[in-house]
């Protein structure tokens, strides 16, 4: 392997020799006409015709022959050089779009070999498959010279993939690289070395990233989606060329499709864990149908580490495993034990999502961006400067079901080495999907910290504080959120749909011990002053039990023996526990990307001392459907 790296430069230069120089035969056209399987965006195509690009909300001007600029974000360079936007011009369909596509491809294929960006084989593979998938649109009617240069470029860049793989790409990007190599192999069958190399690499690449349950090793639903998309395209290319389908490829598609279906909410979009976004539900469904005809949904994902609780119209997906292993952890988030909850097609409780913008990308990896407990000034894992992680926590989970009800018990020890104890989350979803209950606690803490539990809400959800709790309104339903802890409504940000959208979050903190009230502190300096509107003593809270309906009580009484049922205290909720609702809301994600910094004075902004107090009591909460 080291020898391959040492000789990569000379081998790459040799591979990029132009076959039009006379030493090889260049076919006049592809032997198999492929077509791009996915719909484009005519609006994007129209902007391209006018020399404008729109990517991640930033508009840029296309410059003739300029394909790389250090000032551009890496994601934009990948998008531009991959030529995936050819499908947008094809979707527009006008003659001006055809001419524009041909002009831009001509600018690339006439670049000298030394000036082409081919060092990333996944981008090269996407470019080759885009050229061949849209060949009928922009190249079939072109002159002979253009088509000859295009076919020569296909051969040159396919050879570059052979030189660089498998070391230069991993994960779904490796599948993308091999897809481009396969597309050239079936289009130029006179050079069998392309297909031979593809068949030699595909089994190893699939085995290295597709888990036995069909999940992806990165534990990122979007990486799984992109892997399924690449598998679907490879299956199509092989079928179009009437070549035998590799067994490993077919089996991988049959495993990944049920797993991907399990990581979708009722709206058809993806759950937000470890760097994923919702994605277009229609495209997700199209990819699933292309990859496999089976419509099975995986009941569980034990190797992937996701728990799926489904009952009635309700669906809960929880992150119940440690981060991805080294080498695949560059999108890993510290969202262990976080969950998302939806009812029908409406998401209620979500994670904040992910971003490719510097600052936001880092901030969204921390627990505060997830619906989970966080401890002030502590992180359950370490993010390295290069994007990887270290100090991963140990995570355990127990999931049991009976008569349609679910019990999920999860723990992680990410805070234990810092004195924060073991985080323990218990969840119960009723058999009709109308009740979700939880308990949050820290076990064995030696250094008391002020925890808070965040429940980020989808932007479509409206919050109405009432004397009995907080009503969460969607277009079709209303849910009542109650807790025996202190509940405040704060601002939040949602990035699940590719852009920042303002939303709200419910923040739970433990109730103050009744025998102990915080005494007002006299400021020592001019900068420290007491808030005149802050009461000196916490108001006593009378806890009124909420009755369980008979069906739920019977379900709890017959809980599986191997699962510890949630205590009855989960249903003992305060009738007046929103004393903090009138306090000024504080945003967890300000308008500019936050840079997490440890507090200099050790304060938390919460009415709990950091040191010298016993760990706070468990927090119980419940979410109940009250109207449809």
pLDDT by residue (tens digit) across 104-125?
Answer: 999 999 999 889 999 999 999 9
- What are the φ/ψ torsions at residue 286 (nearest 5 degrees)? -65, -40
Which percentage of the chain shows pLDDT scores above 70?
82
Nearest C-alpha neighbor of 29 from the set 137, 136, 162, 160: 136
Q: Is 415 helix (H, G, I), strand (E, B) or coil?
A: coil
Query: 253 and 235 in contact (C-beta within 8 Å)?
Result: yes
Burial of 61 (0-12, 13-18, 19+ CB in 10 A): exposed
- Mean pLDDT score of the chain: 85
pLDDT value, residue 56: 83
Q: How do 501-509 and 451-457 pair as beta strands?
A: antiparallel
d(CA 621, CA 436): 9
State how far the alpha carbon of 188 is from the alpha carbons of 35, 132, 608, in Å. Answer: 16, 11, 70
pLDDT value, residue 40: 95
Q: How many CA atoms lie within 13 Å of 192's alpha carbon, on the beta-carbon side? A: 1
d(CA 29, CA 131): 12
Query: 229 and 122 in contact (C-beta within 8 Å)?
Result: no
Q: Rounded to the nearest 5 degrees, what angle is found at the Cα of 434, between the Cα atoms of 568 and 490?
A: 80
Query: 362 and 398 in contact (C-beta within 8 Å)?
Result: no
pLDDT tens profile 182-205: 999 999 999 999 999 999 999 999
Assign 447 a pLDDT band (cuts: 50, 70, 90): confident
d(CA 256, CA 291): 9
Which percentage of the chain shows pLDDT scores above 90?
72
Nearest C-alpha neighbor of 334 from the set 279, 371, 390, 381: 381
Burial of 208 (0-12, 13-18, 19+ CB in 10 A): middle
Element (H, E) at 348: strand 346-350
Assign 2 a pLDDT band (cuts: 50, 70, 90): low
Three-class secondary structure assignment of 574-619: ECCCCCCCCCCCCCCCCCCCCCCCCCCCCCCCCCCCCCCCCCCCCE
Element (H, E) at 8: helix 8-15
Q: Prior bond to 166 cis, omega within 30?
A: yes
pLDDT value, residue 6: 64
Query: 505 and 457 in contact (C-beta within 8 Å)?
Result: yes
Assign 22 a pLDDT band (cuts: 50, 70, 90): low
**Can you state the percent helix, strand and coil of the chain, rounding each to 5?**
30, 20, 45
d(CA 420, CA 365): 20
Nearest C-alpha neighbor of 29 from the set 138, 128, 147: 147
pLDDT value, residue 82: 97
C-alpha 570 chain-centroid distance: 31
pLDDT value, residue 529: 38
d(CA 85, CA 282): 18
In the predicted structure, residue 593 carries a pLDDT above the cut 50: no
pLDDT tens profile 449-495: 789 999 999 999 999 999 999 999 999 999 999 999 999 999 999 99
Query: 367 and 412 in contact (C-beta within 8 Å)?
Result: no
State how far the alpha carbon of 609 is from the alpha carbons of 127, 305, 465, in Å. Answer: 57, 35, 28
**Long-range contacts: 384-388, Cβ < 8 Å, 24+?**
386/330, 387/330, 388/326, 388/327, 388/329, 388/330
Query: 271 and 229 in contact (C-beta within 8 Å)?
Result: no
Residue 395's DSSP bridge partners are 412
Q: How do 306-311 and 58-61 pair as beta strands?
A: unpaired
d(CA 135, CA 297): 36
**Domains in the chain, start-ordered, CATH in brackets?**
16-201 (no CATH), 210-302 (no CATH), 339-513+545-590+609-627 (2.70.98.70)
In sign, the C-alpha dihedral spanning 587, 590, 593, 597 is negative
pLDDT tens profile 521-546: 444 433 333 443 443 333 333 333 33
Look at phi and psi of residue 602 and say left if phi exceeds 0, alpha if psi is from -120 to 50, else beta.
Answer: left
Burial of 160 (0-12, 13-18, 19+ CB in 10 A): buried
Q: How do 501-509 and 395-402 pair as beta strands?
A: unpaired
DSSP 468: T
Assign 3 a pLDDT band (cuts: 50, 70, 90): low
pLDDT tens profile 259-272: 999 999 999 999 99
Which residues make Cβ contacts (< 8 Å) with residue 144, sequence separation at least 6?
28
State how far the alpha carbon of 157 is from the alpha carbons of 22, 113, 184, 192, 433, in Å. Answer: 18, 9, 9, 15, 53
């Amino acid at each position: 392997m080291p020898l391959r790296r040492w000789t990569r430069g000379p081998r790459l230069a040799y591979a990029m020799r132009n076959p039009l120089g006379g030493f090889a035969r260049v076919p006049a056209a592809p032997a198999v006409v492929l077509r791009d399987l996915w719909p484009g965006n005519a609006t994007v195509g129209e902007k391209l015709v006018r020399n404008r690009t729109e990517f991640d909300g930033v508009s840029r001007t296309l410059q003739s022959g300029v394909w790389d600029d250090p000032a551009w974000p890496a994601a934009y360079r990948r998008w531009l050089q991959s030529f995936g936007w050819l499908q947008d011009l094809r979707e527009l369909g006008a003659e001006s779009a055809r001419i524009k596509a041909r002009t831009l491809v001509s600018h690339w294929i006439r670049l000298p070999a030394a000036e082409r960006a081919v060092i990333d084989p996944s981008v090269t593979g996407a470019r080759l498959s885009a050229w061949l998938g849209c060949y009928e649109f922009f190249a079939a009617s072109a002159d002979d010279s253009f088509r000859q240069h295009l076919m020569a470029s296909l051969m040159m860049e396919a050879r570059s993939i052979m030189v660089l793989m498998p070391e230069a790409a991993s994960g779904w990007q490796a599948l993308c690289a091999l897809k481009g190599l396969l597309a050239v192999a079936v289009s130029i069958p006179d050079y069998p070395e392309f297909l031979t190399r593809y068949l030699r690499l595909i089994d190893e690449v699939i085995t290295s990233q597709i888990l036995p349950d069909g999940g992806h090793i990165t534990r990122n639903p979007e990486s799984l989606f992109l892997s399924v998309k690449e598998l679907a395209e490879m299956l199509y290319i092989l079928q179009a060329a009437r070549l035998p389908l590799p067994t490993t490829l077919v089996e991988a598609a049959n495993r990944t499709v049920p797993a991907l279906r399990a990581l979708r909410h009722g709206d058809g979009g993806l759950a937000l864990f470890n760097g994923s976004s919702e994605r277009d539900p229609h495209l997700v469904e199209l990819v699933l149908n292309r990859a496999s005809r089976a419509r099975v949904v995986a009941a569980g994902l034990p190797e992937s580490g996701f728990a799926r609780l489904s009952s009635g119209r309700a669906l809960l997906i929880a992150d119940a495993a440690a981060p991805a292993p080294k080498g695949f952890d560059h999108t890993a988030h510290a969202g262990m034990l976080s969950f998302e909850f939806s009812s029908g097609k409406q998401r209620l409780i979500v994670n904040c999502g992910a971003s490719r913008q510097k600052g936001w990308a880092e901030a969204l990896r921390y627990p505060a961006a997830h619906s989970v407990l966080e401890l002030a000034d502590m992180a359950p894992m370490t993010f390295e400067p290069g994007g990887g992680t270290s100090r991963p926590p140990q995570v355990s989970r127990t999931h049991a079901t009976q008569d349609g009800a679910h019990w999920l018990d999860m723990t992680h020890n990410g805070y234990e080495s810092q004195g924060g104890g073991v985080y323990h989350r218990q969840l119960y979803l009723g058999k009709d999907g109308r009740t979700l209950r939880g308990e949050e606690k820290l076990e064995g803490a030696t250094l008391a910290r002020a925890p808070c539990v965040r429940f980020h809400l989808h932007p479509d959800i409206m919050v109405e504080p009432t004397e009995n709790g907080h009503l969460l309104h969607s277009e079709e339903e209303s849910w009542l959120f109650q807790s025996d802890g202190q509940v405040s409504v704060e601002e939040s940000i949602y990035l699940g749909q590719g852009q920042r959208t303002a939303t709200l979050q419910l923040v739970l903190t433990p109730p103050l011990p009744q025998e102990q009230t915080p005494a007002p502190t006299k400021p020592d300096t001019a900068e420290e002053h007491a808030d005149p509107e802050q009461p000196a003593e916490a108001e006593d809270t009378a806890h009124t039990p909420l009755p369980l309906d008979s069906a739920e009580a019977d379900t709890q009484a017959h809980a599986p023996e191997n699962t510890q049922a949630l205590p009855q205290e989960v249903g003992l909720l305060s009738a007046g526990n929103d004393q903090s609702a009138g306090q000024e809301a504080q945003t967890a994600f300000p308008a500019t990307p936050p840079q997490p910094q440890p507090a200099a004075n050790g304060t938390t902004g919460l009415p709990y001392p950091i040191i010298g107090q016993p760990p706070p009591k468990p927090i119980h909460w419940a979410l109940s459907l009250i109207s449809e």
